[in-house]
């Protein structure tokens, strides 16, 4: 295979467009300027977009999240000093483009997402998915359940996303983990939320959530436990089970991620978020998503940069796990 653009290569791995030859602001904005999936013979990790936001209940716009995150990822470099790893040399990482789904029919879109994920993971690839709204987590978990059995979810979010319905609709961005729990896709002994905060509809939201298999680490717990304490509690809960990490960007405080649909005050800082993610090298990470990036509310790409760096840390964790 002949590369069409100069790339950084390590052994048999094809890496990023070489920034010493092509400036970062030039060229096609694949994630981190990595090759497309059709440019390699085999991939270990794929970044895939799902531009869907028909499940939003407040401010729409997350359908534009994948392209915004890709554009914001141009500054990512090949060596990750915080994890002492070069992820694109350890694994063949590619941009798999977008799973195109029906923007008007949620049920059909969910089926299309499931089919797209099934196809991408059939040969063992691990996915980092760029949303899109949080509805997409349900079909992804359905697909992963076929391969791994009950999945442990570490869910970073301001909101529980275990509500029942909105206006009678069972599949929305506020319901994916209730539906996944009810369907048997989740390990009810090891799932947890991190960063929960803000007003709820009723106290029963919390009791329902516990019944569905989740433990809650709130944003306030970050003040009392600190980052190290939150990490210890999180790792004790999940153990060595297959773990899926689902990150709503609104887990970050609006100061660090203004470009999202349902912001809540008092969230995590970017530094806290990255420190917690880096501790997940101790878990069996089978997939991840970053959702709810709405670029029209973003300022100076603050949210896009945050999401891109979160994806980079997750890719690094997966690449190190393949060694």
How is 280-303 classified by DSSP, letter by letter?
A: GGGSEEEEEEEE-B-GGG-STTHH
Q: Please write the tens of the pLDDT for every residue from 182-193.
A: 999 999 999 999
Residue 176 confidence (pLDDT) above 90: yes
Residue 214 has what DSSP assignment? Answer: E
CA terminus-to-terminus distance, the chain: 25
Closest CA to 53 of 37, 64, 38: 64
Tell me the pLDDT of the chain averaged across its residues.
96
As a whole number of angstroms, the distance between CA 307 and CA 68 comes to 9
Residue 31 pLDDT level (bands cut at 50, 70, 90):
very high
As a whole number of angstroms, the distance between CA 235 and CA 100 comes to 35
**pTM, entire model:** 0.95
Q: What pLDDT does residue 2 have?
A: 45
Residue 1 pLDDT level (bands cut at 50, 70, 90):
very low
For residue 194, count other CB atoms closer than 10 A to its CB.
25
Residue 3 pLDDT level (bands cut at 50, 70, 90):
low
E strands within 27-178? Answer: 45-50, 93-98, 126-131, 152-156
Q: What pLDDT does residue 282 have?
A: 92
At 31 the three-state DSSP class reads helix
Asked if 102 contacts 300 with a C-beta cutoff of 8 angstroms, the reply is no
Torsion angle of the four alpha carbons 288, 294, 295, 296, in this order, in degrees rounded to the nearest 10: 180
Q: What pLDDT does residue 5 have?
A: 82
Q: Please write the tens of the pLDDT for every residue from 248-292.
A: 999 999 999 999 999 999 999 999 999 999 999 999 999 999 999
Q: What pLDDT does residue 9 have?
A: 82
Residue 294 confidence (pLDDT) above 80: yes
Asked if 281 contacts 321 with a C-beta cutoff of 8 angstroms, the reply is yes
Q: Please write the tens of the pLDDT for every residue from 71-88.
A: 999 999 999 999 999 999
Between these two residues, 323 and 126, which has the higher pLDDT value? 126
Tokens representing 290 are 């970053």
| Average pLDDT estimate for 306-319 | 98
Q: Please write the tens of the pLDDT for every residue from 194-224.
A: 999 999 999 999 999 999 999 999 999 999 9
Q: Please write the tens of the pLDDT for every residue from 100-152.
A: 999 999 999 999 999 999 999 999 999 999 999 999 999 999 999 999 999 99
For residue 124, count other CB atoms closer than 10 A to its CB.
10
Look-up of token digits 């010493």: 20
Q: List, in order, residues 6 or more apart from 322 with CB less than 8 Å away.
A: 44, 45, 90, 91
Between these two residues, 62 and 10, which has the higher pLDDT value? 62
As a whole number of angstroms, the distance between CA 270 and CA 165 comes to 31
The percent of residues above 90 in pLDDT, for the chain, comes to 94
Q: What domains sit in the chain, N to C, each tagged with a CATH number?
A: 7-321 (3.40.800.10)
């Amino acid at each position: 295979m002949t590369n069409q653009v100069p790339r950084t290569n390590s052994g048999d791995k094809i890496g990023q467009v070489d920034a010493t030859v092509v400036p970062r602001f030039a060229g096609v904005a694949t994630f981190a300027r990595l090759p497309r999936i059709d440019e390699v013979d085999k991939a270990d990790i794929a970044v895939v977009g799902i531009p869907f936001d028909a499940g939003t209940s407040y401010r729409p716009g997350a359908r534009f999240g994948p392209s915004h995150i890709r554009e914001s990822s141009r500054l990512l470099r090949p060596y990750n000093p915080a994890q002492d790893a070069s992820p694109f040399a350890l694994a063949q990482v590619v941009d798999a483009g977008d799973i195109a789904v029906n923007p008007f029919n949620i049920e059909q879109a969910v089926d299309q997402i499931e089919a797209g994920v099934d196809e991408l993971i059939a040969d063992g690839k691990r996915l980092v998915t760029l949303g899109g709204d949080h509805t997409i987590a349900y079909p992804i978990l359905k697909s992963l359940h076929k391969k791994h059995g009950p999945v442990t979810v570490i869910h970073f979010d301001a909101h529980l996303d275990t509500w029942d319905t909105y206006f009678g609709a069972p599949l929305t961005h506020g319901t994916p983990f209730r539906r996944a729990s009810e369907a048997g896709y989740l390990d009810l002994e090891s799932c947890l939320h991190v960063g929960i905060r803000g007003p709820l509809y009723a106290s029963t939201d919390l009791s329902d959530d516990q019944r569905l298999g989740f433990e809650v680490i709130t944003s306030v717990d970050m003040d009392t436990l600190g980052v190290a304490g939150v990490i210890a509690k999180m790792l004790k809960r999940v153990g060595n089970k297959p773990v899926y990490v689902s990150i709503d960007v609104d887990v970050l405080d609006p100061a660090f991620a203004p470009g999202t649909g349902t912001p809540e005050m008092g969230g995590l800082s970017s530094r806290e978020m990255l420190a917690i993610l880096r501790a997940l090298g101790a878990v069996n990470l089978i997939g991840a998503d970053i959702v709810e990036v709405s670029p029209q509310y973003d300022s100076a790409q603050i949210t896009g940069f945050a999401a891109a760096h979160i994806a980079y840390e997750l890719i690094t964790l997966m690449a190190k796990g393949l060694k």
